């Protein structure tokens, strides 16, 4: 394999000081023996996506290492100083359980301090949502968390937060990377910080955060009645290990059953193939424990505790996994129902979801006469809506199909800690209604219609993979399907070109959202297929949503089977499985 000249020259810069000796040796090894890995490691610089900076750990400009972390932090420092001249700039830092996360957090802390910024560094691993809370609680201008969320063990990352506690959105995200790219040499990164500017934080922030979480409870009487309900919880070797059980305890639950092997903090995630609660295999040990002790609810959080997957008992007493859309439906329905019951709906409340999340949420919100705002994929866009309406409207809750949910406004990112507490509360509340969570879901489907979704992800790694994904999106725009699963395509939403094309009337409408490389095809029977390249993984994702009327709960299994067949037909037509 021939190595591109520009890539080779970029790599050779890493063979000199100030890069350390070990880094120089690894780069030389790639040049001599592994041209493909060299190309993938140097063909581009890591960029901010929907989740910030994320990539495989290793040497190179396209890898996560002390130098790319240092460059990102120096660029962020330069931008913060331009944005807040003559002001004290405080930043908060957290990290998850991944290999090198604590090391990268210390690197970032030293760079911030070397640039004269005041740093609040957590004393140990903490959930990502607590970092979001800490930024606001400590009146910081920015914050970062070292994490790659639910990605495999070889990944790590760097999420950047702004002063409102939300991940950076345009123009800040692009401006930060512009500052990073403007750094001509690693010599410009100040790695040696003033230790006096680095302050350790811990229990005080934990207590303040958990107190706010406890205030979210809407059914304390139901919890008191069923406080001994058996709940299986696993952090999958991650940051939820301490705070999720504490949050459940503050709500009033007293029978939290652990998986000891998965309470062990380990960045290799030894008990799972992937620490992703979206995958059934990640919950296997917890579900086995549920069978063993006859528990009613299983909850599992990812390494940085911003996503939660759950399993509940169906009508045949089997443990079944709910997908991210189903959990969001249960949560949002419960919140709206209780707010209405408690006479808290004043006409100024709203919920938010992403464009690839089930439209059932919109239908439920409409029934309660509460607006539902649609935003681009990425929880930072949900947080942006909260910021825009702060002080004038009240955010009740929101979520996205990728197992991320939020209640209240004191955190500005998806939060699995509070979500676990709220889901457990809903389980107690439904139990008090002589129902289960599963039966609540079927009641919702009976009332609003049966919605079923499926996500298909195609992995395309490296430079070649990125080019393949770009080619796929280009082809879909120029040769869009005429029919999908036997139904005519009637609408095309092209978020990159900011337009909706009505194929029936041949009219075009502007999409009032920022440009994003997303395509949606809507058919005459309301089937929707959304396609987008992932902003954080080497994947192209296909989100499939189908609808069917459910006239009675007795027809649930039959209708579910019909929707499964329709989804299978969609995947066949799209050639994705």
- Our separate counts of H helices and E strands in the chain read 18, 23
Q: Is residue 427 classed as helix, strand or coil in its secondary structure?
A: helix
Q: Return the half-sphere exposure (C-beta side, CA atoms, 13 A cut-off) of residue 363.
A: 14
Cα 413 to Cα 402: distance, rounded to the nearest angstrom: 13
What is each CA distance from 188 to 77, 111, 183, in whole angstroms? 12, 11, 7
Cα 291 to Cα 306: distance, rounded to the nearest angstrom: 26
User: Bridge partners of 285?
Assistant: none
DSSP state of 306: S
- What is the DSSP secondary-structure string of 87-137? S--EEEEEE-SSTTHHHHHHHHHHHHHHTT-EEEEESS---HHHHHHHHHH
Start-end of H helices in 118-226: 128-137, 172-182, 203-214, 220-225
Cα 396 to Cα 521: distance, rounded to the nearest angstrom: 30
Cα 194 to Cα 164: distance, rounded to the nearest angstrom: 26
Q: Is residue 485 classed as helix, strand or coil in its secondary structure?
A: coil
Instruction: Count other C-beta atoms under 10 Å from residue 565's C-beta.
Output: 11
Cα 426 to Cα 307: distance, rounded to the nearest angstrom: 17
Cα 363 to Cα 258: distance, rounded to the nearest angstrom: 37
| Exposure string for 54-73, b = 16+ CB within 10 A, e = fewer | bbbbbbbbbbbbbbbbbbbb
Task: Check 41, 97, 142, 149 and give the catalytic one.
Answer: 149
Cα 202 to Cα 349: distance, rounded to the nearest angstrom: 33
| 149 among known catalytic residues | yes
Residues acting as catalytic residues? 149
């Amino acid at each position: 394999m021939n190595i591109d000249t520009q890539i080779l020259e970029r790599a050779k810069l890493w063979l000199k000081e100030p890069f350390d000796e070990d880094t120089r040796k690894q780069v030389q090894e790639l040049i001599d023996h592994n041209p493909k890995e060299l190309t993938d490691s140097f063909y581009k610089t890591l960029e901010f996506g929907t989740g910030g900076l994320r990539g495989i750990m290793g040497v190179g400009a396209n890898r996560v290492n002390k130098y790319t972390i240092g460059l990102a932090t120096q660029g962020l420092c330069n931008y913060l100083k331009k944005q807040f001249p003559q002001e004290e700039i405080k930043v908060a830092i957290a990290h998850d359980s991944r290999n090198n996360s604590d090391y990268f957090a210390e690197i970032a802390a030293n760079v911030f301090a070397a640039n004269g910024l005041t740093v609040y560094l957590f004393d140990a691993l903490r959930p990502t949502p607590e970092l979001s809370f800490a930024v606001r609680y400590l009146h910081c201008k920015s914050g970062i968390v070292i994490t790659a969320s639910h990605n495999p063990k070889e990944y790590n990352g760097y999420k950047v937060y702004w002063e409102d506690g939300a991940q950076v959105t345009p123009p800040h995200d692009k401006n930060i990377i512009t500052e990073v790219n403007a750094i001509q040499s690693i010599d410009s990164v100040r790695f040696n910080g003033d230790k006096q500017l680095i302050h350790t934080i811990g229990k005080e922030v934990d207590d303040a955060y958990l107190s706010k979480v406890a205030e979210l409870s809407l059914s304390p009487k139901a919890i008191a009645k069923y406080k001994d309900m058996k709940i299986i919880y696993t952090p999958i070797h991650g940051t939820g290990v301490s705070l999720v059980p504490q949050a459940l305890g503050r709500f009033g639950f007293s029978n939290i059953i652990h998986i000891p092997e998965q309470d062990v903090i380990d960045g290799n995630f030894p008990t799972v193939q992937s620490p992703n609660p979206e995958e059934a295999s990640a919950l296997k040990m917890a579900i086995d424990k549920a069978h063993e002790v006859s528990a009613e609810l299983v909850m599992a959080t990812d390494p940085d505790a911003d996503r939660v997957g759950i399993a509940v008992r169906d009508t045949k007493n089997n443990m079944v996994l709910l997908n991210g859309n189903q959990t969001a439906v249960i949560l949002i329905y419960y919140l709206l129902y209780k707010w209405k019951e408690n006479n808290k709906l004043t006409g100024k409340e709203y919920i938010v979801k992403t464009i690839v999340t089930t439209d059932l949420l919109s239908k439920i919100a409409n029934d309660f006469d509460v607006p539902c705002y649609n935003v681009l994929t990425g929880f930072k866009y949900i947080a942006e809506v909260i910021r825009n309406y702060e002080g004038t409207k009240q955010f009740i809750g929101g979520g996205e199909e990728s197992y991320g949910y939020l209640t209240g406004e004191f955190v500005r990112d998806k939060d699995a800690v509070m979500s676990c507490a709220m889901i457990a509360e809903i389980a107690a509340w439904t139990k008090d209604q002589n129902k289960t969570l599963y039966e609540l879901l079927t009641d919702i489907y009976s009332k609003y219609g049966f919605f079923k979704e499926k996500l298909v992800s195609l992995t395309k790694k490296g430079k070649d993979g990125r080019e393949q994904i770009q080619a796929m999106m280009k082809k879909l725009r120029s040769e869009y399907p005429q029919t999908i699963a036997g139904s005519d395509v009637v609408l095309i939403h092209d978020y990159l070109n900011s337009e909706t094309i009505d194929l029936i009337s041949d009219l075009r409408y502007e999409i009032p959202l920022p440009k994003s490389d997303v395509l949606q095809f809507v058919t005459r029977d309301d089937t929707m297929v959304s396609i987008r390249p992932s902003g954080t993984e080497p994947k192209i994702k296909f989100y499939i949503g189908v609808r069917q009327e459910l006239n009675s709960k007795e027809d649930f299994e039959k209708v579910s089977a019909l929707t499964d067949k329709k989804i299978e037909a969609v995947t066949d037509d799209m050639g994705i499985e």
